[in-house]
């Protein structure tokens, strides 16, 4: 499970999650993920283009991030999930609290 933090010149936080966000993957990245996203309290873009799998613990990790940012007045957007990951997000009603868009540009527009 890989977490990449994209350096940006503006106020946005941007991260990429790649691999499998199952119980093992969550253990590997959860602390760093929350530190890189929720702890910064900024508008956040989570790129899931290279995420192959997500289970309930991974969904919980994303939801915890969205809740923390919401409480600090910031929003989060998910970018380009693969079809089966998007199906899991929809089934968990995640798209009702975290908008899903197709590109980083769309995410920037949604957060501006």
Partner 1 sequence: MTATFTRTLRSDPREFEQLLPELAAFLALHHVEASVTYVVQLAVEELILNVMKHGYHGETGHSVTMKLDLAGANEATLEVEDEAEAFDPRTTPEPDFDDMLRGDRVGGLGVHLVRSLSASLDYRRDSNRNHVRVRILPLPMPPA
Residue nearer to partner 1 on the CB measure, 3 or 94: 94
- 98 CB-near residues (< 8 Å, 6+ apart): 46, 62, 63, 66, 76, 77, 78, 89
Q: Which helix (H) or strand (E) holds 68?
A: helix 56-71
Residue nearer to partner 1 on the CB measure, 4 or 56: 56
Name the minimum Å distance from CB 88 to partner 1: 7
Strand 100-101 to 13-21 pairing: unpaired
Name the minimum Å distance from CB 60 to partner 1: 6
Residues that bind partner 1 (CB under 8 A): 22-24, 53, 55-56, 59-60, 63, 66-67, 70, 83-84, 87-88, 91-94, 96-97
Residue nearer to partner 1 on the CB measure, 7 or 96: 96
């Amino acid at each position: 499970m890989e977490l990449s933090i994209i350096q940006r010149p503006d106020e946005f936080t941007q991260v990429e999650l790649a691999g499998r966000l199952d119980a093992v993957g969550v253990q590997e990245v959860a602390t760093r993920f929350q530190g890189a996203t929720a702890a910064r309290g900024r508008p956040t873009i989570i790129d899931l283009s290279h995420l192959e799998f997500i289970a309930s613990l991974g969904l919980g990790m994303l939801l915890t991030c969205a809740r923390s940012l919401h409480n600090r007045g910031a929003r989060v957007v998910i970018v380009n999930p693969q079809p089966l990951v998007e199906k899991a997000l929809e089934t968990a009603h995640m798209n009702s609290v975290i908008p899903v868009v197709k590109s980083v540009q769309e995410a920037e527009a949604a957060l501006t």
